[in-house]
A and B are shown apart, each in its own frame.
Chain A
Amino acid sequence: MIEGGWLVLGLILVPAVAALVCLASMGRPVSRTFIWGTVVIFWALVLILAGLMLFQDVWRFNVPEAGLPDLNLLILVIDLALSLAFAYIGLRRKNWPILIMALLTFVLCLFLESQLHGGNVGYWVTVDRLSLLMLLITNLVGGAICIFSLKYMEHDAHQGRFFALMLLFIASMNGAVVSSNMLWLFCFWEATTFCSFALIAHDMSEKALKAAERALALTLLGALAFLLGLIALADITSNIDLFYLMSHQDLIPFFLLPLLMVAAFTKSAQVPFQSWLVGAMVAPTPVSALLHSATMVNLGVYLLMRIWPWYYLNESLTTMLLLVGGLTFLASSIMALRQSDAKRVLAYSTIGTLGLIFMTLGIGSIYGLTAAFLLLVSHAVAKAILFLSVGAIKHTSGSQDVEDMEGLLSDRRFLAYSIYLGVFLMILPPFGVFAGKLILLEAVTSQVLVAFLLVIGMASMTVYYGKWLGRTLVDRAVGPRPERTDPTFAMPLLFLAGMGLLLVVLTVPFIQMFVTSGTFTFMGRSILPLDSPWWELPTPGGMLPLYILLVVIAASFLLLTSWVRRPEEATTAYACGETMQIEIAGHYLYSERTETNVRTAFELIGIGLLLVLMIVPWMLEGIA
């Protein structure tokens, strides 16, 4: 697959070069055609790559290092430059933890390099179906978000910088998921940290800077854990190629795994690190959309999915994943009940869903992995739709509060429908997120006590989304006339909606293409042989009748509209004879003060869990 190598190179270089061009145009507005062109190019590249791999039945291809220039020095320079940049930020903002951690990263990078002295990694990049899936998510969803931003950031003073960072983010994400060398992966990992910091701080207000610093501090902590893990690894072998290690798992030091888990938890905002993602909501909405669906948080999940074969049989580690994920899911679901800011509701929902994904990885069976794939991709599409809809609403009405969305269905029908689609993709059977949850629930009975962490969250997810939908449905007797949605807003939303619906219809082929023995060759078993029926999905203890449910849902929306169209007399709402106007407000279950207490309690439990995660392996190792 020599053409595959070029396509991957293009996927990293096209957005990266375009980012430089955007940066060069600083001060002047970015040309719409230029962004459109860039997005279309990387869409085309990723689709061609997917087409090649899927239809030529390529499960994995490499670009060998031999004969190509040595890039290790470049990677090291980028690593060191990023560390210095972080240190500068820490110094400038007088944030000592950031400064110290950044300097530590700098030193550890050098130390690691001296230990590896170049290393003898065989490949530049390795692309398998997992990388391909990540590339598809990042580029298709990320591209749609970039196009949406053209309108959203129309009047922004720093458009050039904004688009440069967005594109750079996509480029680094693409680089991270195709890297074969763990040092390269770490370098791109740090690059995404930088992009997220700069994008969260975009409007340079004190609040934004504070949130950005928090994000930076927590993700740097993860980066340190990552580096320490790599150093422990380099102590044993100088070949730190991910795929080489897949077949030499005896070389992997046990300490590497808990350290990488901590790194993933910070990136994917698990308790007790969840606060940075909630704080990051001060950023412009397209940034939130990018962080939540196409890039940042997926990277932590990707790392643990990638190294899943290293730990899936280790009971103490998988139990820890179940506990941290479960705790995060419970905490985020309870806290989401209290939020009225739509973006905060979505933030907690993202944190919770990521918790679910970590739980599925902790199940330690191919079912769990299947659920992880389903959750990851469906969640990415659903969240992009939801964030972009909220962004479009905020752009026109100036508010992103759920309570202000009253009557949305009558004012802005298109956006209301796109919110409904997004929410349905998140909670309604048989859509992807639901399928993932179902598999998780049935598989988790092998660890029945963990089920207690799941049940409340499952219900409260329906409740907080239901409350939101309820507000948008209220009909308004008098109100503004319906507004048309700007095409630059509508197009990405339609594109994502198409993606979401296609995913639901193609659930079984999707699993056959992405989650089979071909992805993880050493597994040798797939839950879905190629001749399995496409209308239902087997789960650990049962069966999800996909198409029957799809038909019922389609019928609910089609049949009833024709029935309702018949003329009939409309009545007014019953008010016990009163004629006064009523004001409607949602019910928020508990006070803000309780919210703070709940959050603190969960964070403390989370810290306790992590300490156990770090200490127990050491002790067990000592006993052994």
Chain B
Amino acid sequence: MTDVVSLLLLAFGPLAIGLLLGVDRRITARMQNRVGPPLLQPFYDLAKLFRKDRRSTNRTQVSFAVAALLLQMAAWCVFALGGDLLVAFFVSGAGSLALALGAFSVRSAYSQIGAQRELLQMLSYEPILLLALLVLGWQSGTFMADAQDESMLFLLPLVIITFVPVLAIKMQKSPFDLATAHQEIVSGVYVEFAGPYYGLLKLANWFELALVFGFLSLFFWDQNVYVSIVGKSLLAFLFLFVTVLLDNSTARLTREQMVKYALTFGLGLIAVNVLAIIVEAAL
């Protein structure tokens, strides 16, 4: 049973993310009084990208695009096959670094600024996500993805909330969409990638999002498999909705603000939650 679930997860995780991004575009459109694209638009976009001519400014750039995708896929596999959460997290982090390095390798103002900002984004979300995972492992007693069988909704509510800035950064949403701000730096890190190479990075982002939503879904669990799956999906949709809402109601932060707010907000919430648990245990 678990093997089947793992394999299904492995294959359908990124597909589900494609669908989720379609939903995201629809919700965004509705919030802006538009109709929006079809639900499968992200898939059409991706397919079209891969049919385009291959053009790049140098080889290094392309190498890093491939590396980014492979690392994100590896991270997702570690997670979906029930492996170590922290290993998945760090491999995915290496994938993000590969994206920034690919952007660094081009002598373009927008790409360079984007890459610097990408690094600052890593500085903003990685500590939060890592700490959230550490606290999860602390409470469940293991870091294996397939052994997380406890619902943390009421135990770690504040820790779950810290996924909001993480998702905003990973989904390139305001107020944290610094590295890809299209109005300022014409998509930043992605500006020099075109056609199939851009497609690779899009796909890498899907795998990365699958991992982050996967982490989020670990916080809900129920003995009944179906309740478990429905609960996990609801949690994912709830956070998607909150992220989209934030995207449409906030303005982009500056670099320094992003690091400061994300870290104080994220680490602060987790600290409160952890202290509450410790105090309660002591009483």
Contact = CB atoms under 8 A, between A and B. Distances in A.
Interface majority SS (helix, strand, loop, mixed), chain B: helix
Contacts of B73: 552
B100 A466 contact: yes
B158 interface: no
Interface in B56-95: 56-60, 62-63, 66-67, 70-71, 73-74, 77-78, 83-87, 90-91, 93-94
Interface stretch (B3-11, B21-29, B132-140, B240-248): B132-140
Interface string A460-479: 10110011011101111100
A561 B108 contact: no
Interface in B113-164: 115-116, 119-120, 122-123, 126-128, 130-131, 134-135, 137-138, 141-144
A582 B94 CA distance: 28
A428 B126 contact: no
Interface string A337-349: 1000000000000
A543 interface: yes
Given A552-B71, A559-B66, A545 B60 contact: no
Contacts of A74: none
Contacts of B98: 556
A459 B129 CA distance: 10
A453 B110 CA distance: 34
Nearest to B93: A462
Given A442-B137, A462-B122, A573-B108, A542 B57 contact: no
Contacts of B104: 469-471, 473-474
B57 A573 contact: yes
Nearest to B134: A451
Given A542-B142, A555-B70, A463 B137 contact: no
Contacts of A571: 55-57, 194
A452 B101 contact: no
A204 interface: no
B107 A459 contact: no
A575 B108 contact: yes
A548 interface: yes
Contacts of B210: none
Nearest to A406: B107
Q: Which of B63, B255, B256 has the most CB of A within 10 A?
A: B63
A471 B126 CA distance: 22
A541 to B, nearest CB: 4
B134 A473 contact: no
Given A474-B105, A549-B91, A586-B116, A542 B84 contact: yes
A477 to B, nearest CB: 7
B60 A409 contact: yes
Given A474-B105, A476-B107, A574-B192, A544 B84 contact: yes
A448 B119 contact: no
A456 interface: yes
B58 A475 contact: yes
A575 B137 contact: no
B63 A564 contact: yes
Contacts, number: 207
A575 B109 CA distance: 7
A544 B87 contact: yes
Interface in B19-67: 53-60, 62-63, 66-67
Nearest to A582: B109
A451 B131 contact: yes
A474 B107 contact: yes
B233 to A, nearest CB: 26
B123 A463 contact: yes
Contacts of A477: 107
A441 B84 CA distance: 12
A560 B191 contact: no
Contacts of A429: 87, 90-91, 94
Nearest to B140: A541
B55 A556 contact: no
Interface in A406-430: 409, 427-430
A435 to B, nearest CB: 10
A448 B106 CA distance: 42
Interface in B224-273: 255-256, 259, 263, 267, 271
A466 B186 contact: no
A574 B111 CA distance: 9
Nearest to B103: A470
B15 interface: no
Given A434-B90, A542-B142, A571-B55, A463 B131 contact: no
A560 B66 contact: yes
B66 A563 contact: yes
Nearest 7 CB-CB pairings of A with B:
A542-B84, A470-B104, A573-B108, A459-B126, A542-B143, A541-B143, A455-B127
Interface of A: 337, 409, 427-430, 434, 438, 441-442, 444-445, 448-449, 451-452, 455-456, 458-460, 462-463, 466-467, 469-471, 473-477, 539, 541-545, 548-549, 552, 555-557, 559-561, 563-564, 566, 568-576, 582, 584, 586-587, 589
30 contacts: A430-B87, A438-B87, A442-B86, A445-B135, A448-B138, A449-B274, A451-B138, A452-B271, A455-B267, A459-B122, A459-B126, A462-B97, A467-B119, A469-B101, A470-B104, A475-B57, A475-B58, A475-B106, A476-B107, A539-B84, A542-B85, A545-B83, A552-B70, A556-B66, A556-B70, A557-B67, A564-B62, A568-B54, A570-B57, A574-B108
Given A568-B56, A589-B120, 19 more contacts: A444-B134, A448-B135, A452-B131, A452-B267, A455-B127, A459-B122, A459-B126, A474-B104, A474-B107, A475-B106, A539-B84, A542-B83, A543-B144, A563-B62, A564-B63, A566-B54, A572-B57, A574-B186, A576-B186
